[in-house]
Amino acid sequence: MNVPDDLLYTESHEWVRREGDKIRVGITDHAQAELTDVVFVDLPKSGASYEKGSTIAVVESVKAASDIYAPVKGTVVETNKELESNPALINTDPYGAGWIYVLEVANAEELKGLKEAAAYRGLLA
């Protein structure tokens, strides 16, 4: 499984890329392989705020709907509208074109609770 070194991770298989005081978020290669066939993505609303750990998006495969959780508290500033017409981008390019949303982080301290690549790899082992 591909676990890029430059990203942070959650135990619920979201990846996080730091972009200044914002973070870009998607689901990991492992998560997309588990789900397979992503057919629909319920995106969060831009401007909405979420608590850490709350359901922020839903990724649906043919078989099931899976909740995606906010890795830290923050406000959504951008969502990946491409996923509305092409949800399979999550399968084909989970760390690139398959990103889901950008969050303005409320408290940068919370990012310290996320896992480094090595620790996330350990979780998958």
CB of 58 to another protein, least distance (A): 7
Judged by CB under 8 A, which of 4, 19, 40, 122 binds another protein? 40
Q: Which position has the token pair 């990103």?
A: 99
Report the distance separating Cα 107 and Cα 30, nearest Å: 28
CA distances from 122 to 3, 9, 115 (A): 11, 12, 10
The residue among 58 and 111 lying less far from another protein, judged by its C-beta, is: 58
Stretch that binds another protein, among 1-9, 10-18, 33-41, 46-54 (CB under 8 A): 33-41
| Number of Cβ atoms within 10 Å of the Cβ of 27 | 27
CB of 118 to another protein, least distance (A): 26
Q: Render 43-81 in DSSP notation, one character per residue.
A: PPPTT-EE-TTSEEEEEEESS-EEEEE-SSSEEEEEE-T
Q: Counting contacts by CB under 8 A, is residue 42 touching another protein?
A: yes
Residues numbered 49-68 forming contacts with another protein, rule: CB under 8 A: 58, 60-63, 65
Binding site for another protein (CB under 8 A): 36-37, 39-40, 42, 58, 60-63, 65, 84
